[in-house]
Amino acid sequence: MTENWVPFEEGEYIVVDALLTTPDGMAVGVEKAYIEVYKGPKGLRRLRGSGVIRPALMVELHEENENLDLLLDLGGKYKYRLENPAIHSGKVFAPDVNALFQFYPSEPWEKLSEPEYDELVGRLNVLNR
């Protein structure tokens, strides 16, 4: 990642809605999500994010799918897809346990129009809503 693909200034931004998704239309919502924009090597803006997820549901997504994407709605016209981000979460797999979820882009995010985002979300079977 060499170009400055993050359009926001340094700081923390609340994520209105975050969904970890599979290619076959399954999803898990990430609660209390936010992203942090910071300066990386060579002064380029980068991002990392966190939220809360139920690890047992994340494992359920991984049972049938190797790669997961993350849809992020930052409000208004700011909607994005992170393809196959690096993700880290707690290791407690009891069905009712929530854990910290961290994500890091593996490549620049894809900006989605509001209709594209709404169409993608409309096709999802969200396990925890």
Domain containing 103 — which CATH number?
Answer: 2.40.10
Structure tokens given for 49? 């994010």
Q: Residue 93: what pLDDT?
A: 66
Q: CA–CA separation, 117 vs 80, rounded Å?
A: 8
| Nearest C-alpha neighbor of 111 from the set 3, 4, 7, 1 | 7
Q: CA–CA separation, 49 vs 54, rounded Å?
A: 16
| Nearest C-alpha neighbor of 19 from the set 99, 129, 114 | 129
pTM of structure: 0.91
Residue 42 domain-assigned (yes or no)? yes
Residue 106 domain-assigned (yes or no)? yes
Residue 4 domain-assigned (yes or no)? no
Q: Residue 4: what pLDDT?
A: 80
Residue 118 domain-assigned (yes or no)? yes
Residue 5 domain-assigned (yes or no)? no
The count of structural domains within the chain is: 1
Q: CA–CA separation, 82 vs 64, rounded Å?
A: 19
Residue 20 domain-assigned (yes or no)? yes
Residue 2 domain-assigned (yes or no)? no
Give mean pLDDT, residues 67-94.
Answer: 90
Residue 76 domain-assigned (yes or no)? yes
| Residue-averaged pLDDT of the chain | 91
State which residues form the domain around 98: 11-126
Give yes or no for residue 129 having a pLDDT over 80.
Answer: no
